[in-house]
């Protein structure tokens, strides 16, 4: 638990400079400075904030020209652009949780990282499995991406991206790392489009306070609901910082979007308390801004007194989770090659299996 019982957070609802790495990094640094100037200790950014979510994939599966531009404008860890963001975090003494298209060589991944208030990269991960059409652009992650919670002076901060919030095992593994503040990163979220379009990709399917009239929200008086981010807050008894982007005309033009994916707006950023209630007033869906909230960290203790799904409200003697956090790379050398001309005599014998490092929760 954080030494301080109050933590001020800033949740962005902004439009990236689409397909422009340099300009979006510049905007990122400006937003970091703005949030810190307003007293925030943590600022969050949406899924693929840099250089913007590749929305064209839902209109057509292949666009080689756009993909090439997207690749060239994606962010690498070992780059001057990443160093600029880290320096901005250090200069303004604020923790940054960043969503971006990660470039590693000629491959892309849906990346998230946490930069602490000294400018140090303390967590880096990739989305475990890109969703549906996202696989035309992005690759999978490996074991290291499961280590997605980091202990900071403000509390234990974790992150997942988009539909990872409907992956039960992944969610539980994130929660059991002691997470207290969860960054729920999404792209733009539009209202349901009707017909056969997937409910779970809409605002109604993912957000609190708009899905269906289960109860009346105490703060806003608007219809309440049990969307993915709100369910995560209830299950984990942690604060959820729901972070989304805004889609404007420039994205429609640059990515040549067609209906219904050319709908403007999609912003729906919010802060959700450990008991599931919404703590912030919504911004208009097409409006850029930053949503601020002061988190009372003691609220986590109150909620977990009732329900601690990773503690007293669990049955590890009956149900448990196994996790392999080893990083699997494309090149692994097995054993040592013999360099003599004829080599030693080979004597058949038992083969020892490679030891594994599995963690049981």
CATH label of the domain that carries residue 251: 3.60.110.10
Residues forming beta bridges with residue 360, ordered by sequence position: 322
Residues 15, 26, 34, 47: which is the catalytic one? Answer: 47
**Assigned domain for 337 exists:** no
**Assigned domain for 302 exists:** yes
Kindly report which listed range (74-78, 85-89, 203-207) carries the lowest average pLDDT score.
203-207
pLDDT digits (tens, 9 = 90+) for 150-183: 999 999 999 999 999 999 999 999 999 999 999 9
**Assigned domain for 272 exists:** yes
Asked if 154 and 42 count as a contact pair (C-beta separation under 8 A), the reply is yes
Q: Is 352 among the residues known to form the active site?
A: no
Share of the chain above pLDDT 70, in %: 82
Tally of domains within the chain = 1
Per-residue model confidence (pLDDT) at position 343:
47
**Assigned domain for 194 exists:** yes
**Assigned domain for 335 exists:** no
110: left (phi over 0), alpha (psi -120 to 50) or beta: beta
CB atoms near residue 131 (< 10 Å): 15
pLDDT digits (tens, 9 = 90+) for 268-277: 999 999 999 9
Residues forming beta bridges with residue 271, ordered by sequence position: 241
**Assigned domain for 247 exists:** yes
pLDDT digits (tens, 9 = 90+) for 289-334: 999 999 999 999 999 999 999 999 999 999 999 999 999 888 877 7
**Assigned domain for 321 exists:** no
Domain with 110, as residue range(s), is 6-306
pLDDT digits (tens, 9 = 90+) for 90-120: 999 999 999 999 999 999 999 999 999 999 9
**Assigned domain for 323 exists:** no
């Amino acid at each position: 638990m954080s030494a301080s019982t109050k933590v001020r957070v800033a949740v962005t609802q902004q439009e990236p400079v689409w397909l422009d790495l340099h300009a979006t990094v510049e905007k990122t640094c400006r937003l970091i400075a703005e949030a810190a100037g307003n007293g925030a200790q943590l600022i969050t950014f949406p899924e693929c904030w840099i250089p913007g979510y590749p929305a064209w994939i839902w209109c057509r599966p292949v666009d080689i020209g756009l993909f090439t531009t997207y690749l060239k404008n994606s962010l690498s860890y070992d780059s001057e652009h990443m160093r600029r963001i880290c320096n901005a975090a250090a200069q303004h003494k604020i923790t940054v949780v960043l969503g971006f298209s990660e470039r590693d060589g000629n491959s892309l991944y849906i990346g998230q990282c946490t930069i602490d208030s000294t400018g140090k990269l303390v967590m880096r991960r990739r989305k475990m499995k890109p969703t549906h059409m996202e696989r035309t652009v992005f690759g999978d992650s490996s074991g290291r991406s499961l280590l997605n919670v980091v202990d900071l002076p403000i509390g234990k901060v974790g992150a997942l991206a988009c539909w990872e919030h409907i992956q039960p095992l992944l969610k539980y593994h994130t929660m059991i790392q002691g997470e207290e503040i969860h960054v729920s990163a999404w792209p733009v979220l539009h209202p349901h489009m009707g017909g056969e379009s997937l409910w779970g990709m809409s605002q109604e399917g993912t957000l609190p306070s708009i899905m269906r009239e289960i109860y009346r929200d105490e703060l806003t008086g608007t219809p309440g609901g049990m969307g993915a981010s709100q369910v995560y807050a209830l299950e984990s008894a942690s604060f959820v910082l729901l972070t989304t982007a805004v889609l404007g005309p420039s994205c429609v033009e640059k990515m040549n979007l067609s209906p219904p994916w050319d709908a403007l707006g999609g912003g729906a950023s919010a802060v959700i308390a450990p008991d599931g209630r919404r703590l912030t007033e919504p911004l208009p869906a097409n409006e850029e801004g930053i949503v601020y909230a002061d988190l009372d960290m003691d609220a986590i203790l109150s909620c977990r007194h009732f329900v601690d799904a990773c503690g007293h409200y669990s049955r590890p003697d009956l149900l448990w989770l196994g996790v392999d956090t080893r990083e699997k790379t494309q090149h692994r050398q097995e054993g040592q090659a013999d360099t003599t001309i004829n080599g030693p005599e080979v004597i058949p014998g038992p083969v020892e299996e490679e030891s594994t490092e599995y963690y049981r929760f």
